[in-house]
């Protein structure tokens, strides 16, 4: 049993490290903050697993009392590690829906910390206290899910709604596994009789410090992060992507409508942006679209002004940041 938990924990930790490393690499290439947030999310969850792993390893050499089943070891540290995992998730969502208000980006984290401190200081050690402490994490996740649904349902832009619909698998997996986490916590903390395994001295130690559905959720996030980061690294940001690359054109088709709507670009400017992304200069764009060179220059000038960049290279990098 101990060997199985050991290998299981190592696999989850390695998945976090691998995905986090690739995500950090994607951030340095694209400067897209969502990848930095994803790397931080996976790093903090890795540290959370390290804490559990250390506790289990040390617990093998000491006598374990069944009364410890409902205690919360290192509660302040666990709260900070949970915050370090959850807040980046929220910031990724904020970036995705273009939520720039600072209060909206910070307040959920503050509420989480305050609520956790109230649980720790106001309630005595009990099953309910332990359950509520861990369930606040799911409360944060539910807030993220609810906000994503709210933004989708209130969006007036069909382009944005279509863009959000492409992320339905992530939202669905998160919602299902969040429900599984809640069920598992209720079963293991509020329903499960810890004395049932009194003969197996170490088993309560392992099952009281982890939630397997939560591990699966982070593995799913690691997979989605790894896939997005790999796609980003496959594209070149300092040079225009190859015009004939099918993956590149697919990404252009997917991101261009939302990009143009975000910066209020006209239909003609949208066509010009697509030509710029293909690496064409003004003369080639003019020839391709059968426009006067001065007209193309005016459109490019307006595009740079609207997007707040000064060069075509910066425009290309801004586009691929999503």
CA-CA-CA-CA torsion sign (247, 248, 253, 254):
positive
Yes or no: say if 318 and 287 are a contact pair by the CB < 8 Å rule: no
Yes or no: say if 171 and 145 are a contact pair by the CB < 8 Å rule: yes
> CA of 183: how far to CAs of 178, 204, 214, 219, 252, in Å?
9, 18, 11, 19, 41
Considering only residues 75 and 203, tell me which one the structure prediction assigns the higher pLDDT: 75
Yes or no: say if 64 and 201 are a contact pair by the CB < 8 Å rule: yes
CA nearest to 138, candidates 164, 166, 116:
116
3-state secondary structure of 281: coil
Which strand (E) or helix (H) includes residue 208?
helix 203-208
Over residues 215-240, the mean pLDDT reads 81
DSSP string, 83-126: HHHHHHHHHHHHHHTT---HHHHHHHHHHHHHHHHHHHHHS-SS
φ/ψ (deg, to 5) at 155: -70, 135
Q: Could you give the CA distance from residue 188 to residue 211 in angstroms, rounded to a whole number?
A: 9
pLDDT score at 60 = 53
Q: Could you give the CA distance from residue 45 to residue 13 in angstroms, rounded to a whole number?
A: 8
Q: pTM for the complete prediction? A: 0.75
pLDDT score at 322 = 61
pLDDT score at 208 = 55
Give the architecture-level CATH label for domain 246-320.
Orthogonal Bundle (1.10)
Q: Say yes or no: do domains 2-234 and 246-320 share a fold.
A: no
| Secondary structure, 3-state, 60-75 | CCCCCCHHHHHCCCCH
Confidence of residue 243 (pLDDT cuts 50, 70, 90): low
> Which positions ≥6 away from 124 have C-beta within 8 Å?
none
Q: Could you give the CA distance from residue 22 to residue 11 in angstroms, rounded to a whole number?
A: 17
Q: Could you give the CA distance from residue 86 to residue 36 in angstroms, rounded to a whole number?
A: 14
Instruction: Tell me the pLDDT of the chain averaged across its residues.
Output: 83
3-state secondary structure of 280: coil
Q: Which tens digit of pLDDT belongs to each residue from 38-69? A: 999 999 999 998 887 776 665 555 555 555 56
Q: Which CATH number fits domain 2-234: 2.60.40, 1.20.1070, 1.10.3470, 1.10.3930?
A: 1.20.1070
Q: Could you give the CA distance from residue 261 to residue 134 in angstroms, rounded to a whole number?
A: 40
Considering only residues 152 and 318, tell me which one the structure prediction assigns the higher pLDDT: 152
Yes or no: say if 56 and 5 are a contact pair by the CB < 8 Å rule: yes
Residue 247 has pLDDT above 70, yes or no: no
pLDDT score at 307 = 86
pLDDT score at 219 = 94
Over residues 189-195, the mean pLDDT reads 70
Q: Which tens digit of pLDDT belongs to each residue from 284-293? A: 888 888 888 8
Over residues 142-171, the mean pLDDT reads 89
Q: At what angle do helices 212-234 and 168-185 cross, to 10 degrees?
A: 160
* Residue spans per domain, the chain: 2-234, 246-320
Considering only residues 22 and 55, tell me which one the structure prediction assigns the higher pLDDT: 22
Percent of the chain beyond pLDDT 90?
37
Rounded-to-10 torsion of CA 241, 243, 244, 249: 80
Q: Could you give the CA distance from residue 137 to residue 86 in angstroms, rounded to a whole number?
A: 8
pLDDT score at 193 = 62
Rounded-to-10 torsion of CA 211, 174, 45, 230: 140
């Amino acid at each position: 049993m101990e060997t199985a938990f050991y290998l299981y924990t190592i696999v989850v930790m390695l998945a976090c490290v691998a995905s986090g490393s690739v995500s950090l690499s994607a951030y340095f290439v694209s400067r897209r903050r969502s990848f930095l947030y994803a790397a931080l999310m996976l790093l903090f969850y890795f540290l959370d697993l390290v804490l559990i792993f250390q506790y289990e390893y040390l617990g093998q050499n000491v006598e374990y009392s069944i009364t410890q089943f409902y205690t919360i070891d290192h509660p302040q540290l666990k709260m900070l590690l949970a915050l370090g995992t959850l807040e980046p998730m929220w910031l990724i969502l904020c970036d995705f829906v273009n939520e720039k208000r600072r209060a909206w980006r910070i307040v959920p984290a503050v509420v989480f910390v305050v609520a956790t401190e109230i649980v720790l200081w106001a309630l005595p050690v009990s099953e309910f206290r332990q359950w509520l402490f861990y369930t606040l994490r799911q409360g944060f996740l539910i807030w993220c899910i609810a906000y994503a649904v709210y933004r989708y349902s209130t969006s007036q832009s069909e382009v944005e709604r279509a863009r959000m619909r492409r992320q339905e698998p992530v939202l669905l997996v998160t919602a299902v596994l969040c429900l599984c986490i809640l069920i598992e916590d209720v079963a293991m903390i509020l329903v499960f009789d810890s004395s049932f395994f009194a003969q197996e001295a170490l088993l309560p130690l392992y099952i009281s410090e982890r939630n397997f559905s939560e591990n699966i959720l982070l593995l799913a996030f690691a997979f989605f992060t790894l896939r997005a980061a790999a796609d980003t690294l496959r594209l070149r940001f300092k040079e225009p992507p190859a015009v004939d690359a099918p993956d590149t054109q697919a990404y252009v088709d997917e991101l261009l409508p939302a990009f143009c709507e975000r910066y209020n670009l006209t239909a003609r400017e949208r066509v010009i942006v697509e030509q710029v992304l293909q690496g064409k200069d003004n003369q080639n764009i003019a020839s391709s679209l059968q426009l006067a060179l001065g007209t193309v220059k005016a459109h490019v000038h307006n595009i740079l002004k609207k997007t707040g960049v000064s060069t075509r290279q910066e425009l290309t990098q801004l586009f691929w940041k999503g």
